[in-house]
Amino acid sequence: MLSFLIRRTFIGLITLLLITFVVYGLVRNMPGTPLTVAAAESDPSKTLSDEDLERLNKIYGLDKHWTQAYFIWIGNVAKLDLGRSISRKQPVTKLIRDRVSATLILSVTSLILTYMLSIPIGLRATVRSGSLEERSISTVLYMLYSLPAFVAALFLQILIAVKLGWLPLMGIVSDDYETMSLIGKAWDICLHAFMPVMCFTYGSLAYYSRFIKSNMEEVIRQDYIRTAKAKGVHPTNIVLHHAFRNTLIPLVTMLGLTLPGLLGGAILLEQIFQWPGMGRLFFEALSGRDYPTIMGLVLMFSFLTLLGQLLADVFYAFVDPRVSLS
């Protein structure tokens, strides 16, 4: 177990280095620098003079070749310093800390909802297998699965916010947020979060329900289920205790793989709902060529992806005694 962890950590570190190296090369070679892009956006006539540009380039280390700059950056990362954002003049860690809560509101709520809803739906679909009810559930889930989230987000905005006027169209708080009471503030965020959470949830809900159902279909044909039936165990008991517990293994494993998604946010959805989370930060950093922020976020995403895969493997060995990591 220990040697497995050490080996995986080592491979993971090398992969991280490679990923950041490639991404650093890619973003540094995109046309435009943070300085020229920002100047062109604010006022095309007010471009920086050559001397100013050179001075700023020197300050931000943009005058160096990207490979050299990469090693300076990675050296700072090793000292746990992600650098300062060029366009926002703030440390990258602070930027991430400011944005992470908004994304967590959406992703954690949606994860809990997904598990709370998909398990009963999946189990019910298994029990009612072949009935009209199960067929309609399956069809609806399949259609939801095929509906791209950004299309669903726009449809929801038109239906609920524009036509019915029940919920605010976008943003995270109302204009008069500052004047509200504490409960009023919480309620305001809830109202704004409702549509984004729905969009975050429905796709994974469909995926998980189908996943649970197909796993259950396999388990329910096993001999020990027949034995339980023959013993006269109550059908509900069979489904919950004998069958479902055995489908938990892949389900727990998937929890590890959702880790990057929890913090990563969704660029499109946050953009549509003007939600000030990580996805938007990433998008803004990319279009502003804000190298330190892009690299900080990429490092975080890839670290979480690799950690999630490792956790999934460890979970797997943990819940299923038949799997050994050595």
Interface residue with another protein among 4, 145, 316, 318 (CB under 8 A) is 145
Q: Considering only residues 5-34, where is the footprint of another protein by CB under 8 A? A: 15, 18-19, 22-23, 26-27, 29-32
Cα–chain center distance at 215: 25
Beta-sheet strands, E only, within the chain? none
Q: Which residue has the tokens 């524009």?
A: 162
Q: Rule CB under 8 A: say whether 66 interacts with another protein.
A: no
Q: Rule CB under 8 A: say whether 192 interacts with another protein.
A: no
3-state secondary structure of 129: coil
Closest CB to another protein among 228 and 294? 294
Closest CB to another protein among 15 and 93? 15
Spatial distance between the Cα atoms of 64 and 66, rounded to a whole number of angstroms: 6
Closest CB to another protein among 151 and 240? 151
Shortest Å, Cβ 185 to another protein: 26
Closest CB to another protein among 144 and 180? 144
Q: Rule CB under 8 A: say whether 164 interacts with another protein.
A: no
- Other residues' Cβ atoms within 10 Å of the Cβ of residue 190: 13
Q: How many CA atoms lie within 13 A of 308 on its CB side?
A: 17
Q: Which helix (H) or strand (E) holds 174?
A: none
199: closest CA among 170, 164, 175, 174?
170
Q: Rule CB under 8 A: say whether 242 interacts with another protein.
A: no
Q: How many CA atoms lie within 13 A of 292 on its CB side?
A: 23
Applying CB under 8 A, the span of 101-109, 149-157, 175-183, 184-192 interacting with another protein comes to 149-157
Q: How many helices (H) and strands (E) does the chain have?
A: 15, 0
Closest CB to another protein among 122 and 276? 122
Task: Locate 128 and state its tokens.
Answer: 């009612």
Q: Rule CB under 8 A: say whether 259 interacts with another protein.
A: no
Q: Rule CB under 8 A: say whether 272 interacts with another protein.
A: yes
315: closest CA among 246, 247, 252?
252
Shortest Å, Cβ 154 to another protein: 5
Q: Considering only residues 295-314, where is the footprint of another protein by CB under 8 A? A: 298, 301-302, 305-306
Spatial distance between the Cα atoms of 114 and 207, rounded to a whole number of angstroms: 10
What is each CA distance from 272 to 61, 88, 150, 154, in whole angstroms?
34, 22, 8, 8
Interface residue with another protein among 59, 151, 190, 323 (CB under 8 A) is 151
Helices (H), 232-320: 235-237, 245-257, 259-264, 267-272, 278-287, 291-319
Closest CB to another protein among 139 and 227? 139
Q: Rule CB under 8 A: say whether 268 interacts with another protein.
A: yes
Closest CB to another protein among 148 and 184? 148
Query: By the criterion CB under 8 A, which residues form the site for another protein?
Result: 15, 18-19, 22-23, 26-27, 29-32, 129-130, 134-135, 138, 142-143, 145-148, 150-151, 154-155, 157-158, 162-163, 169, 207, 210-211, 213-214, 217, 267-268, 271-272, 282-283, 286, 294, 298, 301-302, 305-306
